[in-house]
Chain A
């Protein structure tokens, strides 16, 4: 937090912009930046899983900071301590702030009770990307999965989060489903706190 003769006030004293004064950027700005991040990441990895991991790592950073920003701005520092609470926060607040709309659905997993799914019919991150056939199941939504993982870890709900393409009736293209698998201690704690 050094001054170095800067005319701007120290970072911590600056206003966190409210939703009324925040600026918009063109969707192209993000899309091109993200596309470049994908291309750069490809040069540092040797297979599809590593690429998804790297994108998720970048997203993780975003998630951690987004949480701090949102908790301060929208929840006056109140902390979620229930699974449904944090998931709802993700589905509604986080999604709206990052992507301009709430997520399309929030569901409990059918195969395991430590799994939940947040789905988006038109995930911004994937909107312009056509994955070539030779890249198999690559989903650049891994970046969004990383964001979710960052938010969850920082709020005390560690989980393994991955992104998947799911074809859905009535949709012209597959939706992106973010699969969240909570660590056992999170499930235990939630059961203890619950009725």
Chain B
């Protein structure tokens, strides 16, 4: 597998053409619509699948980038924006607003939505719900419970793609001998 040298990619690993990824995601969404019919159900399923991906993807990220533990929400959000998106989606995300409990980030490009246009009757579809699930699942594995939603979506007429993350709580690691 050739790695295109577009500057060092985080995780240094193999890169592939985004088109396979984009088209595969599109085919998945299409099949979910056929199977489940309602866009709202598809949104839920995409989110669930994203979560399942996220809980595994986080270890791939940590193993390949040699990242240490993120100590808090701020660090985690910045890491996702600066390194995470580049490693997996080949695009960068810019954090536009951040404090200890919330952040917003804007994606410069989004390979999930290349070639995509939402028809009128599918307006309720949140095409990129998978991404929200991935982030939630990934952070859950490092003891952070977050909410994540797409606050601006170019497929619905907005200028750019924006994610809004909110920390719900830190989940303390289970100490096996806690006397509760």
Q: Do chains A and B touch in the complex (CB under 8 A)?
A: yes
Interface residues in chain A, defined as those with a beta carbon under 8 Å from any beta carbon in chain B: 1-2, 4-8, 10-11, 17, 22-30, 32-37, 39-40, 44, 57-59, 61-62, 65-66, 69, 97-101, 122, 124
Q: Quick check: B9 and A44 within 8 Å, CB to CB?
A: no
Which residue among A10, A122, A124 has the maximum number of chain B CB atoms within 10 Å of its CB? A124
**From DSSP, what is the main secondary structure of chain A's interface residues?**
helix
- A24: chain B residues at CB < 8 Å are 4, 6, 9, 15-18, 90
CB<8 Å pairs between A and B, sample of 6: A24-B90, A25-B15, A25-B17, A28-B60, A61-B27, A122-B1
C-alpha gap A40/B64 in the complex (Å): 26
C-alpha gap A100/B9 in the complex (Å): 17
Q: Quick check: B24 and A100 within 8 Å, CB to CB?
A: no
Interface residues in chain B, defined as those with a beta carbon under 8 Å from any beta carbon in chain A: 1-2, 4, 6, 9, 11, 13-21, 23-28, 30-31, 35, 45, 49, 52-53, 56-57, 60, 64, 87-91, 109, 111, 114-117, 120, 154, 156-157, 159
C-alpha gap A65/B23 in the complex (Å): 7
Among A5, A23, A66, A100, contact of B90 (Cβ-Cβ < 8 Å): A23
Other than A26-B14, A32-B56, give 15 A-B pairs with Cβ distance below 8 A: A17-B114, A26-B9, A28-B60, A28-B64, A29-B21, A29-B88, A33-B28, A36-B49, A40-B45, A58-B24, A61-B27, A62-B26, A97-B20, A98-B19, A100-B1
What residue in chain A is nearest B117 (Cβ atoms)? A11
- A25 and B13 contact, Cβ closer than 8 Å, known pairs A6-B154, A66-B23: no
Q: Quick check: B21 and A30 within 8 Å, CB to CB?
A: yes
- A25 and B25 contact, Cβ closer than 8 Å, known pairs A58-B31, A61-B30, A124-B1: no
Among B11, B20, B53, contact of A98 (Cβ-Cβ < 8 Å): B20
- B89: chain A residues at CB < 8 Å are 25-26, 29
- A40: chain B residues at CB < 8 Å are 28, 45, 49
C-alpha gap A1/B119 in the complex (Å): 8
